[in-house]
Structure 1
């Protein structure tokens, strides 16, 4: 008893007891916190990995439907338009259309496409399997065709559960086909003259779902816009327990993107990714236990680490001195500052021991992190510029095709003067567009560029298009970002002037503004837009959202978004595009930019 009292009252025992008290409890706490954080990290990383797989699957499906959708370009071919529009085609005409279908197949290798068929509004059609045929029923009895007649710019993706017997135009039953449908429009009037139907074997979608798995028993399936399963993996019903219909409906509507389902059996992690082309949702489902299985191994590792740390700390506590703890405390404080984002919190190491080396390594690490961050920022900025330059360099094939077509018929008509003027304008347009790879040109060149574009378009739309260009002379030498006006003018023409009756007028002006800025304005007297669409467009521009991300159809949104994005990237977030519009009266687009160019 006396011996125990003597030991407990000694300084060494007190230091040992205090050290154990101050070391063991923190180590246990660190172990628990580390386990919890590791668990959360593994859980979140596993979920993120599963979602990434779903997004990749959605991209694969998107690529499949986009690639297959190239066959819809058949509906724009002159031979197809002639066949669907004419009522007295010969056998040779039909044969040419079939050859055209075969040519597309040979070019793109559509092995999963079962059939291609077309039909006009009078029931006369052609398909790969049957050739020319005549329906004894009105094609518009098919609700899908009726929908396309009223929404001619829409592409329908009809899965097998939604198939209509009238979808099989040539009479051949295809119970396992996804029908891709689109309207065929007359080139000049854009009037619907028929429909094109591509039957895609649904086995290719099922293979996507079957070949991609999560964990050991997780799987993917596809639901439509209403939350109805349309493709499920080839497993027994006992293995597949889908969520309640209310939850599927919420996933389809986008109100939920992921959640843990505990309603049926063991908990399951359910998540979704969307296919923009079809509107379908790819749903992933995996038992939650498989998601967090790695956390169990981490728990064992942490327990062993904590026990060994306690033993090691008790063994070495006699050798720890204040001379060692002070630089460690300093290093810890610097690390906390660095973790909060202050990368200048370097250590001033003293001595030649390991702690000094650690401080020096910490300083080197901070320098490398700062260098990598700066390098990453530069690379991201250059990448963005490269993407924008690539976007600028793209030439609209439809515009070029239509312009060359206009040159051809003018030349055939002997209108030499107009041909010369059109070719000169086209040459000027492309020369300024390229600008030897420069991003900046003078305002005079920018106006010359849009003037060339308007000359070309006025020759094509001479009955509906007039324009006026006014610019303050002293602004013409001001540097400006290339191709700001042309996308706005193109929107004004195609989404404003062409959609109204009578002649349309586009006014382009450039004038100085306060604060060393200038104001570029494009005004048209087209059909304009209502207050709801205007607010939606303004919101998209303010938050830099593309129109299809909001589910809204906003005329000209992509061109305006591109100009807005380029202005903010090159000039700064305080500059951009302002849109004003009144339905039936026209639209005004105003751009404020500094006259000095980019800083």
Structure 2
């Protein structure tokens, strides 16, 4: 292999690659950190302004409810209602006298509400569309210019106080002072008869609403506050020149920005040199409070943060490039010796090894590589031996699966049932035989679930139960949690076959075969026990020795040996097989294997 490719050595490639990756990662971290810092600061500022707007909105709502309460109090005054009822009942020729009397009564009814200490700066009363009272330096012409007939009709249709649009009210003072007010109208209804007597209108100064946020505006000269209606028209602001103007026009917002600010409650416009925060909150139905803040402190803090991060990341990049150059220089010296050895192994020189004169980390890598190749060579040889053993066992297993003698006996049993007219028993035997061979073949799979192995064993027991109905009972008890785990096919059936032919059958008396399975300490435990003839101690030792050594023994232990060899092939030293027996009483075979859920490809 050459040391250069594309006019760059391996050392330079490693160095440049590490430097490029480090630069990309540090640049990414710089952008992420600045973005996280910016978003965190903006989120904190948004939360602060949201809390502040919430307090302001509560104050505005309190002022509005107070004005409505004042209107209700005046409209429910008994003295006022009596004066208005008498005025409506007199003849037109006497109305001039009663009007003066009514004027005095209305002035007295509103004296507790309309004064310099309350939010109401004036009051007017209507009977029909006529102004019968407009006290507190408010001329009738000014009232008629503000309150339209349709406004009075809305008040008559509703029980609650009605807020009319923001209006400019002219007072009859020597200087003709003007003030922006909110007219609040309330229907006057006789408490006794329910008759609609008229409409009372209170004039609430806009300055009382702007006072709810002017204190905050004075503390932060970069913030402006506006109160707007549903149409986006400004109805209260510190700057009176913006009243009754379109909010988007005043703030320079687009319709889309206005919609987002309404829906989300916050909007940051970072298009300019200094980011601008727009915040909004509903103060009462139909009204929304807006705050516009220039985030100059945020912009300055963000600039300082970016500069500091840039310096830190630049220093980190220099350090990383220096270390990368040193590492590349160290690695490339011994790497070619390793590459040459790999090329030799690739050319089927499996005994080639890396020389042992390499030091440092690459020396450790070379030693581990040599050890790995030695281990792979031994594993290859052991694998070949195990494959030969597996093929031999699989051959024996296939012979054991299809037992012509067993098939012959079963067919003889079916024939006897048919001759005796026991067609149902014959059909049952045939079905069990079909189920047994279908499950035992398992579509060629050697590894099946515990549930499938139980079904296979149960089909076998049903067939044998028909033949040895007078000798044999059986019981299968497996924990349901064992069903999905997988075991080698025909693990339980040979144990059951041994229990029948060498236990129950030879005892010449009725016996019980118990098949149990459970999970204990991360292992699957399978036990097959029969109450048959039992095994003599000498024979039992011979069988156990043959299972441990792997050598077959004469007699009737092929089923156990076959199972032991297959389990050892799959689980190595992780399986256990134990046999306990008392002659004349019982024989129990217990198998312990690890829990496995692999498919056959994982064997």
Does TM, scored on the shorter chain, surpass 0.5?
no
So what's the TM-score if we normalise by structure 1?
A: 0.37
So what's the TM-score if we normalise by structure 2?
A: 0.37
Larger radius of gyration: 2
